[in-house]
Amino acid sequence: MAAPQTFSLLAFTFSLLAVASTVTGSNITQILADFPEYSSFNSYLSQTKLADEINSRSTITLLVLNNGAMSSLAGKHPLSVIKNALSLLVLLDYYDPLKLHKISQGTTLSTTLYQTTGNAPGNLGFVNITDLKGGKVGFGSAASGSKLDSSYTKSIKQIPYNISVLEIDNPIIAPGVLAAPAPSAAVSNITGLLEKAGCKTFADLLVSSGVLKTYESTIEKGLTVFAPSDEAFKAAGVPDLTKLTQAEKVSLLEYHALAEYKPKGSLKTNKNKIPTLATSGAGKYDLTTSTSGDEVILHTGVAPSRVADTVLDATPVVIFTVDKVLLPAELFGKPPSPAPAPAPESDTAPTPSPAEGPSPMAASPPAPPMDDSPGSAPSDSPAASENTKAKNAADGVRSPSLLTALVTLTALAVSVSLCY
Ligand SMILES: *[C@@H]1O[C@H](CO)[C@@H](O)[C@H](O)[C@H]1NC(C)=O
Ligand SMILES: *[C@@H]1O[C@H](CO)[C@@H](O)[C@H](O)[C@H]1NC(C)=O
Ligand SMILES: *[C@@H]1O[C@H](CO)[C@@H](O)[C@H](O)[C@H]1NC(C)=O
Ligand SMILES: *[C@@H]1O[C@H](CO)[C@@H](O)[C@H](O)[C@H]1NC(C)=O
């Protein structure tokens, strides 16, 4: 009796350790840093934040271009275009040199990261891999009529079966990718984009408060917007915004954006507090993140909110919709607040209102997935911390708390085995 119990507790302990180690993942920036001939490619992976996206995934083949091959792209196109071109070199499958030469029927199509962006119509996000005669392997766009004008040259690194890094001699160019317009046109009309995405209330508030100008002033440096849907503003627990002072309203709206480019992959790998446009002093008006599968949850210290859709990802600007208004603890955290603050637990009672229904985020069950904990295994007991100022210290405590949990479990396992 004792042995199985001890065993299962220990097994649990080790499974937690395993979770902890996947969180670290591989670091493509570091892998490529050992090879100066890929410095340009590596630098673009960082600038476009593709590095974060790669690090957040566990089965990847990265096709790498050396500095010479990269010169046909580098500096010749807007960053958003280079990002799309490089996304096509991130295959969402594992190919080591052996597997490349063993493709059944000698030819296959692989999905790429580009396919996941929603920017790739038809099969433009797929890459054709063909085992050619004489041991050569060719790569090309899967779009019909495309040539296999890129070839495998050598293997750089493999971490079986998570990441394989292979060198190819030319970029794979899907039709139209390089001709894409710079994002400036789209970005010049943020409110138009927001309205089309079902965030008219938010767009109107940005205009009437003047905060839109603050957003626009940071576009060149980088801008990330978390736009609550119109439903989010109608949800139970959202404070009456007409009761806020002008300064509070400005802070609330500035809290919904970052002065940096943080696409989904960067949010997924983030482990720090993220300052918002409302942040002026240390530890004020910041956000933390956790993940649940492929989802990113934002934590304000009052209530969590799920990142729903990507409205626009055009380096260095990214606009997301979120399914809750982000309520900063600085305005809504104190229970005896002058504003009709929501009960701090409001997030745990997500009133199955129409709010969850017709919106684009209906992908996940409307039930309480927002309840902080699911999936974000190694985080501190979030339900408690979410409601308290202790949350402010939570980030520094995150990994120690995991350690504490492990130590506790191990001690428990030992004491159980002693008892029997
Ligand atoms: C590889 O990915 C799996 C998940 O698919 C993960 O459990 C494992 O820790 C990863 N291994 C390495 C070396 O990163
Ligand atoms: C990856 O490595 C680079 C270079 O060593 C470092 O700057 C970066 O912070 C690392 N990223 C992560 C997520 O650890
Ligand atoms: C890949 O391209 C080659 C050459 O154009 C073509 O013959 C082959 O059918 C393609 N493979 C697939 C799986 O579409
Ligand atoms: C912005 O987009 C909206 C909706 O698409 C449109 O009505 C408006 O005229 C656009 N504004 C500008 C300045 O282009």
Q: Which residue has the tokens 């911390």?
A: 385
Higher pLDDT, residue 25 or 148:
148
Q: What is the DSSP letter of 327?
A: -
Of the ranges 245-254, 281-290, 403-412, the best mean pLDDT one: 245-254
More confident residue, 355 or 386: 386
The pLDDT tens digits for 176-223 are 889 877 777 778 899 999 999 999 999 999 999 999 999 999 999 999
Backbone angles phi, psi at 226, to 5 degrees: -110, 100
- Please say whether the beta carbons of 419 and 1 come within 8 A: no
Domains of the chain by range and CATH? 26-179 (2.30.180.10), 195-332 (2.30.180.10)
Q: How far is the CA of 272 from the centre of ligand 3 (A)?
A: 45
pTM value > 0.85: no
CA 303, distance to chain mean position in Å, is 19
Max CA separation in the chain (angstroms) = 77
Q: What is the pLDDT of residues 31-49, one digit of tens each?
A: 999 999 999 999 999 999 9
How do 126-131 and 137-141 pair as beta strands?
antiparallel
Provide the angle, in degrees to the nearest 10, between the axes of the packed helices 2-24 and 394-419.
160
- Residue with tokens 């890459």, as numbered in its chain: 127
How is residue 112 annotated by DSSP? B
Residue 224 near ligand 2, beta carbon < 6 Å: no
Q: What is the pLDDT of residue 183?
A: 72
Asked whether residue 99 carries a pLDDT value surpassing 50, the answer given is: yes
Separation of CA 200 and ligand 4 centre (Å): 12
CA gyration radius for the chain? Answer: 24
3-class secondary structure, 152: strand
Q: Is the CB of 371 under 6 A from ligand 4?
A: no
Of 260, 315, 317, whose CA–CA distance to 81 is shortest?
Answer: 315
Query: What is the per-residue pLDDT across 125-181, written as a single tens digit (0 to 9) for each?
Result: 999 999 998 889 999 999 988 999 999 999 999 999 999 999 999 999 999 889 877
Token representation of residue 234: 């109608």
Asked if residue 108 has its Cβ within 6 Å of ligand 3, the reply is: yes
- As a 3-state breakdown, the chain gives helix, strand, coil percent values, each rounded to 5, of 40, 20, 40
- CA-CA distance, 88 to 126, in Å (whole number)? 7
Is the beta carbon of 158 within 6 A of some atom in ligand 1? no
- ω into 316 cis (within 30 of 0): yes
Residue 366 contacts residue 353 (beta carbons within 8 Å): no
Per-residue model confidence (pLDDT) at position 225:
98
At 17, is the secondary structure helix, strand, or coil? helix
**In a 10 Å sphere around its CB, with 0-12 CB exposed, 13-18 middle and 19+ buried, how is residue 180 labelled?**
middle
- Asked if residue 255 has a cis previous peptide bond (ω within 30° of 0), the answer is no
